[in-house]
Amino acid sequence: MRRFGAAALLVVLAATGCARPELAAVPTPSGTPTPLKTPSPTPLRTPLKVTTPSDPITIDMTTGVVHNKLYTAGRVPVVRCALPRPRLTTTAGLVAYGNVLVDCMSRAWAPLVEKADAVQASVELIPYSARRPKATPACTDPPVSADAFYYFGGFTGKICFDTDLYLDSQDQEFNLVNFEQLIAHEYGHHVQYSVGILTLYDELMRGKSAAGQLEVMRRKELQASCLGAAFLGANKRTFALSGTRLRYWRYIVSHVGDEYSKVRDHGSRKNHSYWTTRAFTSTSPATCNTFTAPAARVS
């Protein structure tokens, strides 16, 4: 998830020295570049299209992305989730709270992943500091201007997140919502991985121009945020996402965008806001098929 820029107020983190998109950044949820390391087996049944016996078997990879059964799996359920008192001022506190979030998300997404004929992979949350990335071998080489990134290896998804931003926050209420949004986005990538979208979407990149490939990347990133928002919307009571917190959340999702980056790989603020706010209301991945959306919706 890319850092998001904030044109105004809130936590000023300018001194962190991280390549932050202009302006004093506010914490951020946003899409993160998702460096895919070792492509590993996908827990998905790839649709096979057998033509005639004499023809080679054609595997239509893109079908698994564009027409994934996740889109018709129904709404994200409300799950029982006992959130501990957040203590986001230490790395241990961030990890403890983050692990509870991940557990809640795993239970919420499991039935939908199953309906998509896939098996939910396990996932691990790993903190790192952009100031000392070498200290955490599992999260080395973090993307520039990112607060977190997702990759998978073997049959496990890894969510690496930069603790610096959160530890430096001066508004714990905002920090909390920001952290929840970040984890929800990264977990969105884990859902994409579990149902096969993340491993098959490369096929959509094939033969495309650089601009065309960036568009595919934006579709992937906007979808991750969309899925995260569907979870948060379904479980908004648990997260007390109303009043001030909801205003913070709306502020955050409308300040995530490529306007704060040199690379057009995550989508505009306007489109990020569009996909997330819509999914927050629908609570369903049915409204997250960014892969069939018109280009203007993923610009």
Angle in degrees, 0-180, between the axes of helices 91-115 and 210-234, rounded to the nearest 10: 100
- Site residues for Zn ion, window 265-284 (CB under 5 A)? none
| Unique residue bearing structure tokens 């906007």 | 222
**DSSP H helical ranges for 67-158:** 91-115
Contact region with Zn ion (CB under 5 A), list: 26-34, 77-85, 91-99, 203-211 = 26-34
Q: Do 225 and 30 form a contact (C-beta atoms < 8 A)?
A: yes
Kindly tell me which of 46 and 299 has the beta carbon lying closer to Zn ion.
299
| Unique residue bearing structure tokens 């202009």 | 22
Q: In terms of C-beta density within 10 A (0-12 exposed, 13-18 middle, 19 or more buried), how is residue 296 classed?
A: exposed
Number of residues that bind Zn ion (CB under 5 A): 6
Q: In terms of C-beta density within 10 A (0-12 exposed, 13-18 middle, 19 or more buried), how is residue 105 classed?
A: buried
192 binds Zn ion (CB under 5 A): no
Q: 88, 94, 116, 224: which one contacts Zn ion (CB under 5 A)?
A: 224
What tokens were used for 228?
């995260």
CB of 32 to Zn ion, least distance (A): 4
Q: 21, 31, 143, 257: which one contacts Zn ion (CB under 5 A)?
A: 31
What tokens were used for 16?
């962190």
The rounded radius of gyration (Å) of the Cα atoms in the chain is 18
CA distances from 269 to 62, 171, 172, 209, 264 (A): 27, 23, 24, 24, 11
Contact region with Zn ion (CB under 5 A), list: 29-37, 131-139, 165-173, 280-288 = 29-37
Contact region with Zn ion (CB under 5 A), list: 14-22, 122-130, 214-222, 285-293 = 214-222
Kindly tell me which of 78 and 162 has the beta carbon lying closer to Zn ion.
162
Binding-residue pattern over the window 32 to 51 for Zn ion, x denoting contact by CB under 5 A: x-x-----------------
CB of 136 to Zn ion, least distance (A): 19
CB of 129 to Zn ion, least distance (A): 19
Contact region with Zn ion (CB under 5 A), list: 39-47, 108-116, 223-231, 253-261 = 223-231
Residues near Zn ion (CB under 5 A): 1, 31-32, 34, 221, 224
